[in-house]
Amino acid sequence: MKFDSTEEWKSKIKRVLISEDELRTEMKKAGAYINSVYDGSPILLVSILKGAFVFMADLCREVTVPCEIEFMAAKSYFEGTVSTGHVEITMDLKHDISKYHVIIVEDIIDTGRTLNEIKKILGVRNPLSLRIMTLLDKPDRRVVELKADYSLFTIPDYFVIGYGLDYGEFYRNLPYIAEFSE
């Protein structure tokens, strides 16, 4: 995808769904949740790249108990706005997670296929516990049985951009979450 101007790029932002202030407020709550559940426990926050990197950065700054971070990369969209159903793990963990309480930090749960695959992969590595924290949950799109342990926002079936979420690798830099106009 290429844009001829910033105006053309902006024209695809249909409307803001979740503001910067709303994101900050919920981030503080999510950090407080982690702090209350895992005080003194060995925590490993695993961000799913690329979409969850902004969420992970803000979330880990709200965590006041000792934690480590790791990254995995997976994709199922391949340049479109609809999940293909095929999940490809493009970067795996190097960490032995068996001595950690692992929290998968995901940007959005849509069909659930990608996260379900990641959960299976990490589950067989015997973490002390395995939980899912997602920024956005779209339960109307779910095609596999999967539920987050903690969701910051539940949204309708919109294709969303911003705050790490993209369309064709663009829009990740928006400081809010918006509906994308195709």
pLDDT the model gives residue 93: 93
Q: From CA 162, how far away is CA 178, in angstroms rounded? A: 6
Q: Could you state, in chain order, the average pLDDT of each consecutive group of 10 residues for the chain (182 residues)?
A: 82 94 98 93 93 96 95 72 68 92 95 90 96 96 93 95 93 96 84
pLDDT the model gives residue 88: 78
**Which burial class, exposed, middle or buried, applies to 159 when counting CB atoms under 10 A from its CB (0-12, 13-18, 19+)?**
middle
Dihedrals phi, psi of 175, to nearest 5 degrees: -85, 10
Residues assigned a catalytic role: 110
Dihedrals phi, psi of 106, to nearest 5 degrees: -115, 150
Q: Which CATH class is domain 21-180?
A: alpha beta
Q: Where are the domains of the chain?
A: 21-180
